[in-house]
Each structure stands twice: as structure tokens, then as C-alpha cells.
Amino acid sequence: MSEQSTPILDRALGRLDLSDDARKMLQHAHKRIQMSVPIRRDDGTLEVFLAWRVQYNTVLGPAKGGVRFHPGVTLEEATELARWMTIKCALMDLPFGGGKGGIQVDPKSLSRQELERLSRSFVRELHNLMGPDTDIPAPDVNTNPRIMGWMADEYDQIARARTPAAITGKPLALGGSEGRVAATGQAALYVLQEWAKRSDKKPKDITVAVQGFGNAGAHFAMLAHKAGFKIVAVSDSGGAIYAKEGLDPEPIHTEKEKGKGLDKVYSDTSVRDGKDHQELETNKLLALDVDVLALAALQDAVTVDNVGDIQAGVILEIANGPVSPDADDTLYGRGVTVLPDVLVNAGGVTVSYYEWIQGRTGDRWSAEEVHDRLKARFDRIAPQCFDRAEKDGSSMRDAAYAIAVERISAAIESRGDSCYFKG
């Protein structure tokens, strides 16, 4: 991955009738910030972690995107994820650009106190370059409301002000929004329901396997089960389980939550620890003969190496980038419908937007109000993507990119000045 755009974005830039200005601006990240984040370990030694924040594009509004704690975080990965956020926010018609950041760390190797010091240290390094009108972080892989609470507190301490719109995904007590935790899974379900409606299929006849039973995947699985879909398998990094007749994800989630304990930030337990279901080799879940494969773990779960094993007719991309570009082309060629990440997992950033509005206005919305707004937005945007794919004869991903890029391009053009030089 490079700082330049990727094949999918290039395809959109090449295909659409855009100005040169828009094409050039979208091919480059606006800001890529590298930080050395020091913390004092519990044994008194100092350790320095590498971290990045990428603000890919800010034409539509402040950069918006998560912060990831993972040993595999790199500048290239953060750039790619920030680019996807740019597309996602534009697609969802939100007044945000795209950003992403992360710390190269195995957070599970830190004590809870060290994790708090690391989260605060990250904010100290980034403070001048973030804020409600500049760049608004949120949770991502291995970060959660608790960590956002520490970050928000650090931001406020330095600013000597209460600024609830500086960070989203905060705990409710600190100005978080109702509905944020389940938002990504909830909206992924809306997209799947739209596909089912257009395919004239009933949820009870649709089998689903879910890779990644974390925040996004578990909520999706629970809500999809309640909506009548048949969840036959779920997995996490500890293993996978399978039940031909379908399983109820709720008790599995409850068990996993118990594994967090009072003083822990991460769960110690796996879906495999529930003894009621047949165990499955983790990677075999991807090859199950199901109607829908929901990918909710990490990038590149499906690549050219295993794309031949995929039997599902539909892939629901709840994670960011779970299907590599080459595998995506192969699946499209085989007639597999890939419902793309930039639409499917956009529920999280949409409710983050609602949290940002509440933070700025001091208003508090009920869970019902958040839910109604989320549904209304997906009822508007998801059909636009399906219709555009049909009209262009393209994949859903190309359709989503086309809508997003046209929105950003219109904003770049509206900012003006190129017309003065056109004679």
C-alpha cells in the first residue's frame, strides 16, 4: 500500500467525469503524522511506542476515524484506513473527511494502568492537531469506550475546557451517545435486509457465518438472529463454533463479556468456551457452505490464497478491507455479491456523527431517536448504492465509491479558483 490511491479508488477516479483538481487531491493524503509515544511501565522503565495519525482528506469537514491499538499497525495501514474513512463519510453524506490512527503495540501485554498511560500519552502528542473542527478520533480494533474516556479526559485537561465533541465513542457518562456500541452491527443488518428484500429472500431461509465475534460482529450476530436470520457459525481469535440448525449468539456474547471482569479492558474468553456447539477450525468458517459470510475481524481475511474456498453467495464486509482487491475481482467474476465495508460498517461513524452533534449542542438524544435517525439514513443511502450498481452495471463497491467521489469532487469544485485559469 502506498500513499497514492489504490486500484479501487483509481478505478473510480478514471471512470468518473471529475476535475483534475479532485483527481489530484484524492490521490494524496493531506497529513500523515508520526509520533513517538512514551509511557512509564509499571516497573519504572520508559518505553516508547510508534504511532500515527493520518488525516487523508478534509474537504467535507474535519477528519474522522478510529484509533487502533495493534502490533501490526503501520503508516501504510493507517493511510489506507483513513482513505476508506474519507469514502465512507462522503458516501453517508456526513460533514466529515477521513482520518485514522493507531499505536504499534500489543495492548494485551500492558497492565490496565499502562494502557491508560499510553492512551493519554497518545492524546498529548496529537493534541495540537486534533479537536472538534480538526480531527475527531473514535474507537477501532482493541480500543473501546473506556479508552476513549481516558483520551477525552486527557484532551480536556490540556484544553482546560470541556470539549465533548473532540472524541466520539465515549462512555455514556462522559457524553457518549446512546446506540453507539451496537450501531455498526445494527447498520450492517440494515444493508443485509435491503439485499434480502431486493433478492426476494426471507431471513429464515438465509444462513449466515460470522468471522470475528467482537464488538461489531457480536452485535450484528445478535441483531440478525433476532431479525430471523439463521446464524450457523461464529468465530473469534480463540476459535470457531458451528451449529447446523442455527445458534443463539446472545448467551455466547454474555459469556464473553463476563470474561472481561471488573478490572480488565479485554475479554479472556473465546466463543469456543461455550460447550454447547460443535467446534470448528477457525479458518474453516470461511469455507462453509452458507448464504452469507459476514467478515467482522480484520483486513485481508479473504485473499487470492483462499478465495477459491469461498462458497457463500454474499459477503458482508463488516470489518474494514476484509477482502483483498485481487480476491474482490475474482469474487465479482464468479458472481458473488460483496456488500462493501464503506457502506456496511458505516453505522459506527454515523452514530459518532450523532454523538458529535450532541457534544456540540449539549442536547441528549434517546436510544430511540438515535436508532430512528440511523435507520432513516441507511434507508436513504443503501438503496442509492444498490440502484447505482444496477445503473452502472458495476459492483456494489464501485457504486459506493462513485457516489462518494462525486460528492467530494463537487465540494472541491465548489471551493473554487480553478475556473479563473480556464480562460
The span from the CA of 16 to the CA of 230, in Å, is: 39
Instruction: Give exposure, 188-206, as e/b (b: 16+ Cβ within 10 Å).
Output: bbbbbbbbbeeeeeebeeb
Query: In angstroms, rounded to a whole number, what is the distance separating the alpha carbons of residues 397 and 190?
Result: 17
What residues from 340 to 359 belong to the interface with ligand NAD (CB under 6 A)? 345, 348
| Interface pattern 291-330 for ligand NAD (x via CB under 6 A) | -----xxx-------------------xxx----------
Strand partners, 48: 38
Q: Is 237 in the site for ligand NAD (CB under 6 A)?
A: yes
Number of chain residues interacting with ligand NAD (CB under 6 A): 23
Which element (helix H / strand E) includes 249? helix 249-258
Closest distance of CB 160 from ligand NAD, Å? 30
Q: Among residues 213 and 386, whose Cβ is nearest to ligand NAD?
A: 213
Q: Which of 24, 31, 88, 100 is flagged as catalytic?
A: 100
| Pick 296 or 314: Cβ nearer ligand NAD | 296
Q: Given the rule CB under 6 A, which of 56-64, 146-154, 231-239, 325-333 is the region that contacts ligand NAD?
A: 231-239
Task: State which residue has the least CB distance to ligand NAD.
Answer: 214
Question: Residues 6 or more apart from 410 whose CB is under 8 A from it?
Answer: none
Whether 100 is a known active-site residue: answer yes
The minimum distance between CB 142 and ligand NAD, in angstroms, equals 5
Nearer to ligand NAD, 400 or 412 (CB): 400
Of 67 and 405, which CB lies nearer to ligand NAD in the complex structure? 67
Which helix (H) or strand (E) segment is 180 a member of?
helix 180-198
- Return the residues of window 139-168 that contact ligand NAD according to CB under 6 A: 140-142
- Range 250-289, binding ligand NAD (CB under 6 A): 282
Among 186, 211, 394, 395, binds ligand NAD (CB under 6 A): 211
**β-sheet bridge partners, residue 50:** 36
User: C-beta of 158: minimal distance to ligand NAD in Å?
Assistant: 26
List all residues 6 or more positions away from 286 whose beta carbon is below 8 Å from its beta carbon. 209, 211, 293, 301, 302, 306, 309, 310
Q: How many other C-beta atoms can be found within 10 angstroms of the C-beta atom of residue 127?
A: 15
- DSSP annotation string for 191-230: HHHHHHHHTT--GGG-EEEEE--SHHHHHHHHHHHHTT-E
**Buried-state track 50-65, b at ≥16 Cβ within 10 A, e below 16:** ebbbbbbbbbbbbbbb
Q: How far is the CB of 235 from ligand NAD (least distance, A)?
A: 4
Binding interface with ligand NAD (CB under 6 A): 140-142, 184, 211-217, 235-237, 282, 296-298, 318-320, 345, 348
Catalytic site positions: 100
